[in-house]
Structures are given as structure tokens and as C-alpha cells.
Homo-oligomer: A and B are copies of this chain.
């Protein structure tokens, strides 16, 4: 065995994440590693907290990045808020609601499912009925931005309903954070988790989370220990809790945190409202191009996520062949369908640094070429101009 250094190809990342990581963030990753208790590092952690509060639009004290990918952020929320015997209402309108159910059950709690068709938003009427039928439910959990379908649910309304019925809320914002409007304090969200590799355009591996005071109180007053020592916030807060005195819990992923810090500084420079507006504007340009080509969206117009565009695979096109050719000939990654939508849709991401006209033009012209070669049923040669006209 003789393995050489790994030199990855340069790709344009327009799948469901990771998104394109800027040179600025890549350079930040390569800064010298220092200790996780170094005063300089602790200063960076304090800044990180403020930057994440800005991204989440919250003043929540309990705001930090979990030292593992989004799935671990999800578990941090469920494991810390649920105890054995609790009941949670879980909305499912795609892959990630199903993962929430798994989380609830592994906490020894019961999940009451509220199901909607994949590609649709969570129906507030169904949620209200479930809340009424389950007065003993402790929390309501739903996905704000379903990465598997591209549907954006009405978080504000769902949280209001939950609170009317004295339920806490857990919100999956993995794909929405920094890509579409998300206001943790204004909407009174109790617990929220996200990922770094979507609209923040940092490398994968960290999961920003935030908890309201009310949620933090519930965690402090648990009767049983959290299932995971690693994700137990009562312990983690000894390290991330702020102040000069930080107690060792686990060794933080130092360089990955450099990358996230840099991407959050970039978000602050752009301004979060501007970032939301950019995602929306570029979505409209991509939409114009795809529709001109004759490719249709899965989600109803008013419910679409600008950063994740799920579209039906056109007649005459073979899913895997197209994606392979895009990757091989154009170094372009777009996403396959997941779960119930596998083989039926593509997921085109316009997240963070990937949300740009340059990427849109590449994607449309590459799709045009590959689909035309294949004899798929599309309107050839019109997409890029349509996108430009709409931008």
C-alpha cells in the first residue's frame, strides 16, 4: 500500500450541500492550530457566539456550534429536551421529519406524526388538530426548509400554534439559516439547529444551535441524564458557556471553527437581509432559465425555498447518466432525489457562495448541452438568456 496525498478536483457545488466554499474560508481553515483552551481561542469563541446570534437573529445566551455535523445538532435538541416517557408531535413532509421521529424514539419518548405529502409544506391545520388531540405533548418539531424537497414551511405560524398549546418547539433550519428569512427571537423558537455546509458555505462538520431561556430551563431541570455524554448541554456549557473560565469538556474542532468564524464574518459584512435577498434574486433567475427550458418545479411557487430547487427530471433524460456527465464534463455537482423522490427529481442548490449568476449560467448551459445530446424533451438554447433577462 502506498497512498499519495489527496488532491480533490475543483467542482462547482450545486447540490443540497456542501456548497462552494470560498477561498477566504478555505484559507481560514489552514491557519495554525492552537489549543482549545488558549486565551486567543476563547476570544474567538466569544466572537463566534455573537456572530451566530446575528445569523439566527436571536439574543439567546445558549447559542453555539455543536462539534459535529447537522445530524448531531438535531440530536442535541431532541436528546436534551426529551426524557423517557415524553411525547413529541413531529411533522414529516420529507426525509428529515423521518429522522426526527428516529431521534424522538431513541430518547425513549413517543412520536405523534403529522404527515404531509413530500413537496408540500407542513399544514398548520393538521398541526393544530394534533396539538388539540395530544394535550400531554411536550414539544412540536418540524423542518423549516426541507432539503429533500425544497419546501419552506411557515415557521412563525407553527411556533405560535405550539405555544398556544403550551408546547416547546424544535426547528430544523439546516438549509434555511442565512438563505431565507429566519428570526428566532421574533418567532419565539425554543430550539433550533443548522449546518455549516449550506447557506453559510463553510465546510461540513459543525452544527450551530440555539436555545431560548425557556428551553434552557427545561434542560437544567431534567430528571434523567441526557443519553449522550458528548451532546449533554449541561456539560457542554461549561466550555461554551462564556466568561473567561472555560472547563475542558471535549477538544473542539479548532480549524473547522476557524472556517465557520470566517464565513460568519462574511455574512456580517454582506448583511443578513442582503444575503436573503441575494438568494431570492438568484432563485428567480434560475427559475426563469429552467422554465424556459421546460423543466418544472416540484414545489408550489409560494412555498419554494430559493436555495434548494427541486425540479422534475424531464422526459427522455436518465437521472444517473445526466449527473455523471455534469460531473465529468463540467465539474458540476447537482443533487439526486432522496427517499420517495429518488430517480424523479434533481435538487439544484443555490446556497451561500454557490448562489451566483456565474453558477446559474454554468448549470443551465451544462444541462442544456447534456440533455440535448441525450435527446431529452427540452427547449434547447434558451435557458441562459432567460435567466439573464430575469436577473
A contact set with B: CB distance below 8 Å: 1-11, 13, 15, 17-18, 20-21, 24, 26-36, 38-41, 44, 47, 50-51, 54, 67-72, 74-75, 79, 99, 102-103, 105-106, 195, 197, 203-205, 225-231, 248-256, 258-259, 261-262, 264-265, 268, 327, 333, 338
Contact = CB atoms under 8 A, between A and B. Distances in A.
A287 B18 CA distance: 47
Contacts of A102: 229
A311 to B, nearest CB: 19
B195 A268 contact: no
28 contacts: A2-B268, A3-B268, A6-B31, A8-B258, A9-B32, A15-B35, A18-B35, A21-B33, A26-B255, A27-B30, A33-B203, A36-B204, A68-B230, A72-B230, A72-B250, A74-B230, A75-B228, A75-B229, A106-B226, A197-B254, A203-B254, A203-B256, A204-B251, A204-B252, A204-B254, A205-B254, A255-B256, A255-B259
Contact of A195 (B15, B99, B251, B265): B251
A225 B21 CA distance: 36
Contacts of A34: 8-9, 11, 13, 18, 333
A54 to B, nearest CB: 7
Given A228-B228, A251-B197, A256-B205, A28 B5 contact: yes
A314 B31 CA distance: 35
B10 A333 contact: no
Contacts of A249: 71
Contacts of A254: 18, 197, 203-205
A68 B69 CA distance: 8
Nearest to A249: B71
B32 A8 contact: yes
Contacts of A50: 1, 3
Contacts of A26: 29-33, 255
Given A26-B32, A33-B21, A230 B71 contact: yes
A354 to B, nearest CB: 11
A72 B102 CA distance: 19
Nearest to A334: B35
Given A3-B50, A6-B31, A9-B32, 8 more contacts: A1-B51, A9-B38, A26-B33, A33-B197, A39-B327, A72-B250, A106-B226, A253-B253
Nearest to A68: B68
B40 A28 contact: no
Contact of A13 (B33, B54, B205, B338): B33
Contact of A203 (B8, B248, B255, B327): B255
Contact of A6 (B13, B15, B258): B258
Name the 6 nearest CB pairs between A and B, nearest first: A205-B253, A68-B68, A30-B30, A71-B250, A203-B255, A21-B33
Contacts of A327: 38-39
A338 B71 contact: no
Contacts of A8: 31-34, 38, 40-41, 44, 258
A262 B54 contact: no
The listed residue with most B CB atoms (<10 A of its CB), out of A8, A227, A259, is A8
A255 B197 CA distance: 11
A105 B229 CA distance: 10
B47 A3 contact: yes
Nearest to A227: B227
A285 B265 CA distance: 44
Contacts of A9: 32, 34, 38, 40
